[in-house]
Amino acid sequence: MNISINNQNFTLHQSGAAFWEEKKILFISDLHLGKIAHFRKHGMAIPEKAVLENFARLNEVLNLFDSETIIFLGDLFHSKINNEWDFFADWTKTVSQQIILIEGNHDIISKKNYADLNIEIYEELIIDDFLLTHHPTTRENFFNFCGHIHPGIKLKGLGRQFLSLSCFFRKPHQLIFPSFGEFTGNFYLIPEENDQVYAITKEEVIEIKR
């Protein structure tokens, strides 16, 4: 799905990623690498191959867009280093794009580890009139790209049927990104009058009309 913000063009993808056409930047939020290994360590019956699904999805979306930079909007890694870090380190060697991390509350791994992979880390980043953060932030004269919340929407159908979907949640001066990672869950939001919701299905991103 294509949208325009501040006269710039963005493609919202059903993976939860978004591509800024003019700047050739791919945005991804809340990947939470390491979470699956953490669950498995504590006895949850998650197949080992699920660890690789995040990387397969990353590669899929990278192949779709002509990006020069990947910006992770926080919570790239879920917690302390585990064996998924090795998968991530190997993956970074396969991509040619510059990688930038906007630091999230889960990003507690030493900055040196990221520096060793040539990944730049910022608490926030300003590009033109866009403010990139992990936590939703309001700042005058800027449009905020952020994550953290893992936004979702519940749609009511006929009878008592409900459909729960991840979504991009747009406020007048903010776009909250869905979680890209597997097994991360959603926080369901209720749109206000000026909000726009772009729901994610398996095939596409669709705007939910009120």
Give me the amino acid identity at 87: F
Which of 171, 170, 153 is CA-nearest to residue 162?
153
Question: Is residue 180 within 8 Å of 147, Cβ to Cβ?
Answer: no
Residues of the chain with pLDDT under 70: 35-51, 78-82, 157-161, 182-185, 210
Output the pLDDT for position 170: 97
Name the one residue in this structure whose structure tokens are 């459909």: 163
Which of 141, 23, 145, 21 is CA-nearest to residue 73?
145
Output the pLDDT for position 45: 44
Residues across the chain: 210
Which residues, in sequence order, are bridge partners of residue 10? 3, 20
What pLDDT, in 10s, does the model give residues 64-123? Answer: 999 999 999 999 986 666 678 888 999 999 999 999 999 988 777 888 999 999 999 999
